Structure 1
Amino acid sequence: MSEMPPRLAEIVDEFAAAPRDVVLEMLIEYADVLPPLPADQVDRAGLEQVPECQTAFFLRARVAPDGTVTTLFDCPPEAPTTRAFAGILAEGLAGADAGQVLAVPDDLYQRMGLAQAISPLRVRGGTAILARLKRQVREQTDGASGS
């Protein structure tokens, strides 16, 4: 069984060890990490909306033939918490393979200590982002393996 990607594990540990009053500042820093959509992605075609998020949020996971996963996220700048969830995943999953993405625990944001720092509604949105990302990866890898 694969383990969570090392960079994502580091991010989780950094948040879990941080004093509660610093967690929000750290979270907002990740809102700035989220890369823009690539130039060839001119609209949201092919991206899946995450309706659990309070703001318009779209994503797509692509699994390359070698198993490496790339992620695309589209979230408006006026939704910094949601952008931060995506930024954490974008940085933490960079270069990860499908097995590592699927090994990310579903309670990732609780493990980071975010449940004590932000509203349950926002945590639910972040959890939905991760769940949809993992489902997309699972669908692509199940189809590739013929199972």
Structure 2
Amino acid sequence: MSATELPPALAEIRDDFLAITKQERLQLLLEFSRDLPALPERLADHPELLERVEECQSPVFIITEVDEAGHVHLHATAPQEAPTTRGFASILAQGLDGLTVDDFFAVPDDFPFELGLTEAVSPLRLRGMVGMIGRAKRQVRAAIADS
């Protein structure tokens, strides 16, 4: 994967957003919000292991882990009442899952701006998603340093 190329799952998500009208993009984001993967039981029972993403207006918590095979897994929680933020968390949880560490770090920090949502959601919300990526990358760096 080159530095300008997205991993297949994220590229597909981006292409899905760009293939529809601006109004439909917001609807697709809401669909993603309903598909946020549930936390694994080991995390659901220990919410203190997740980190709050302060850049988000809504209370979003993430944890990004690297498994023994060197693949990244991002888990997130966001309230049902915050569908935009929840949708962004879902996009990242689904689009980043299973990437190698190198492919994960190759994802551009400004990926949220590639979804064509700048007219549908506020810049503050997009910066929240950028914040999620930044925190996830920091967590992976820490996990690698600890191993």
- TM, length-normalised to structure 2: 0.90
Name the CA distance, whole Å, in 2 between partners of 1:140 and 1:4. 23
1:24-78 deviation line (CA, Å, top 9, x unaligned): 0011000011112222221312111111111111100001121111111011111
Name the CA distance, whole Å, in 1 between partners of 2:56 and 2:79. 12
Contact 1:106 1:127 in 2 (8 A): yes
Matched, 1:66 2:80: no
Matched, 1:18 2:48: no
- Structure 2, unmatched stretches of 5+, are none
Q: How many residues align?
A: 144
- Please show how residues 19-38 of structure 1 align to structure 2 within 5 Å: 19-38=21-40
In the alignment, what sits opposite 1:101? 104
Name the CA distance, whole Å, in 2 between partners of 1:114 and 1:28. 12
Q: Secondary structure at the residue paired with 1:62?
A: strand
- Please show how residues 76-91 of structure 1 align to structure 2 within 5 Å: 76-91=79-94
Name the CA distance, whole Å, in 2 between partners of 1:124 and 1:55. 12
Name the amino acid aligned to 1:24. Answer: L
In the alignment, what sits opposite 1:40? 42
Name the CA distance, whole Å, in 1 between partners of 2:118 and 2:144. 31
What's the CA shift for 1:115? 1.4
What's the CA shift for 1:138? 2.2
Aligned counterpart for 1:53 among listed residues 56, 61, 64: 56
What's the CA shift for 1:17? 2.8
Name the CA distance, whole Å, in 2 between partners of 1:126 and 1:84. 10
In the alignment, what sits opposite 2:7? 5
- Structure 1, unmatched stretches of 5+, are none
Name the CA distance, whole Å, in 2 between partners of 1:27 and 1:123. 12
